[in-house]
């Protein structure tokens, strides 16, 4: 079984659907989006799916989620840390990136991922799937390019990739840890932005388009089921964007 945090968002939903199609029972983790999470659970291929409260900035709530997973399933084969937050602030606007926003980005994108891993570690160690339990952190090429919605967001994704490598070493051999690092993903939110800007981002990408949510999902499924001798790696789904 798999737990996906931030599962009600555009990328999260695609990951959940991809995992269900691959045969996983999926726990759809949510913070405030209980109703969308429950609707998603009822709409998935296969059975055994359910919504679960998993706010990543609340360690006590994550401990309760882990206890519920233990009671229902007795193990966790895959944790996908998809919960994330950001807001557009120009990189030169140092005042606009205030302390509250900076701290909230790191609380969700970095500490939240660590807190979820800490809560689920014991259940991941019980996985019987080939390659053992797996953690997939959803990162971003902003970690490498330092171009993204704001300075703190880019730094948070770099920290997430570094933590991926640290924990891959620390949790081996029972649990593998990887990052999936997309470029700009063509979610409904991105489609709602200025078309000229979106087209410019596509043109700057060697493959001349944006990533699809389903392509991110396929990378997560592959990391969990196919790349059984891979840990500590950052898997790019970016169309070659850092090359341009």
Is 219 a domain residue?
A: yes
The CA–CA distances, whole Å, from 182 to 17, 74, 238 equal: 18, 32, 5
Is 170 a domain residue?
A: yes
Full residue range of the structural domain in which residue 140 is found: 2-236
Other beta carbons within 10 angstroms of residue 176's beta carbon come to 27
Is 83 a domain residue?
A: yes
The whole-model pTM stands at 0.96
Q: Give the alpha-carbon dihedral of 87, 205, 142, 230, to 10 degrees.
A: 130
Q: What is the CATH number of the domain that holds 61?
A: 3.40.50.720
Is 9 a domain residue?
A: yes
Q: Who's near 95: CB < 8 A, 6+ residues apart? A: none
Overall average pLDDT of the 178-187 stretch: 94
Both tokens of 18, joined, read 């991809």
Tens digit of pLDDT for each residue in 132-171?
999 999 999 999 999 999 999 999 999 999 999 999 999 9
Active-site annotation, residues? 153
Tens digit of pLDDT for each residue in 65-106?
999 999 999 999 999 999 999 999 999 999 999 999 999 999
Say yes or no to pLDDT of 38 above 90.
yes
Is 243 a domain residue?
A: no
How many domains, in total, are found in the chain?
A: 1
Residue 192 binned pLDDT confidence (cut-offs 50, 70, 90): confident
The CA–CA distances, whole Å, from 100 to 59, 94, 95 equal: 20, 13, 11
Is 244 a domain residue?
A: no
């Amino acid at each position: 079984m798999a737990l996906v945090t931030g599962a009600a968002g555009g990328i999260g939903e695609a990951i959940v659907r991809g995992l269900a199609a691959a045969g996983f029972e999926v726990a759809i983790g949510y913070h405030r989006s209980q109703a969308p999470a429950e609707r998603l659970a009822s709409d998935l291929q296969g059975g055994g799916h359910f919504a679960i409260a998993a706010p990543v900035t609340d360690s006590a709530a994550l401990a309760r989620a882990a206890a519920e997973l233990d009671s229902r399933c007795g193990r966790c084969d895959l944790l996908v840390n998809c919960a994330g937050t950001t807001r557009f602030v120009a990189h030169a606007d140092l005042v606009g990136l205030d302390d509250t926003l900076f701290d909230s980005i790191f609380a969700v994108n970095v500490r939240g991922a660590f807190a979820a891993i800490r809560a689920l570690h014991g259940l991941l160690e019980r996985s019987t799937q080939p390659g053992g339990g797996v953690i997939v952190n959803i990162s971003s090429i902003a970690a490498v390019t330092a171009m993204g919605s704001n300075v703190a967001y880019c730094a948070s994704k770099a920290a997430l990739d570094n933590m991926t490598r640290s924990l891959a070493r620390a949790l081996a051999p029972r649990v593998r840890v990887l990052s999936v690092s997309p470029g700009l993903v063509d979610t409904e939110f991105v489609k709602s932005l200025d078309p000229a800007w979106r087209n410019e981002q596509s043109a700057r990408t060697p493959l001349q388009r944006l990533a699809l949510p389903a392509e991110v999902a396929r990378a997560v499924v592959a990391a969990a089921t196919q790349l059984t001798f891979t840990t500590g790696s950052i898997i790019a789904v970016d169309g070659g964007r850092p090359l341009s």
